[in-house]
Amino acid sequence: MSRVRIVGGAWRSRMLDVADVRGLRPTPDRVRETLFNWLGQTLNGQHCLDLFAGTGILGFEAASRGAASVVLVERDARALDALGAAAKTLQASQVEIVRGDAVRFAQTTPRTFDGVFLDPPYNKGWIEQVSPWLDRLIKPEGWLYVESEAIVDRLGAWQAVRQGRAGQVHFHLMRRSDE
């Protein structure tokens, strides 16, 4: 089993176990550092959603940086076990783990979020499947983080305001555009 490190906030330098699940790729430290520099170092009081949680590192990073609540959605049983163990180890009472399909969650949850992390398995069309539900999921002034195998300039009303690349990973911070 591999491990991933939280890079900032209250749980800085804490290591989390990563389940051995095919296709699971923890967001690299450098990419997370960049993302949280873009967002501001703290997410105090924000409500965040990590839709394809996988390792949960983006959600745990948000909780470490003061998010009031973080919902991690994952359907793989081994990944869920690792998420539960990490939440218990960190005593992360603000983290809620939901076992289920990310697209169905996006379609059916009545909740809205200040920010959504969207880092699904690559080359499966998940971003396009979730895209129609983003306006409903994210508060008007909220943000969307997208990690993908290709550049994503726009998703419906969402426009990339910052983007970067690390190896094969393209990462984007998006905001709702008024166009």
**What per-residue confidence (pLDDT) applies to 42?**
87
Whether residue 32 is contained in a domain is answered as: no
**Are 149 and 166 in contact, with CB atoms under 8 Å apart?**
no
Which of 14-23, 109-118, 122-131, 141-150 comes out lowest in average pLDDT? 14-23
**Full residue range of the structural domain in which residue 124 is found:** 2-22+44-176
**What per-residue confidence (pLDDT) applies to 179?**
59
Give the model confidence (pLDDT) of 19-64 as tens digits. Answer: 988 888 889 899 999 999 999 878 999 999 999 999 999 999 999 9
Which of 91-100, 106-115, 169-178 comes out lowest in average pLDDT? 169-178
**CATH number, position 144:** 3.40.50.150
Whether residue 36 is contained in a domain is answered as: no
Q: How many domains does the chain have?
A: 1
Whether the pLDDT of residue 124 is over 70: the answer is yes
Per-residue burial over 17-44, b = 16 or more CB atoms within 10 Å of its CB, e = otherwise: bbbebeebebbbbebbebbbebbeeebe
Whether residue 39 is contained in a domain is answered as: no
Dihedral of CA 108/124/27/153: which sign? negative
Whether residue 100 is contained in a domain is answered as: yes
Whether residue 94 is contained in a domain is answered as: yes
Hey, what amino acid is at 95?
A: V
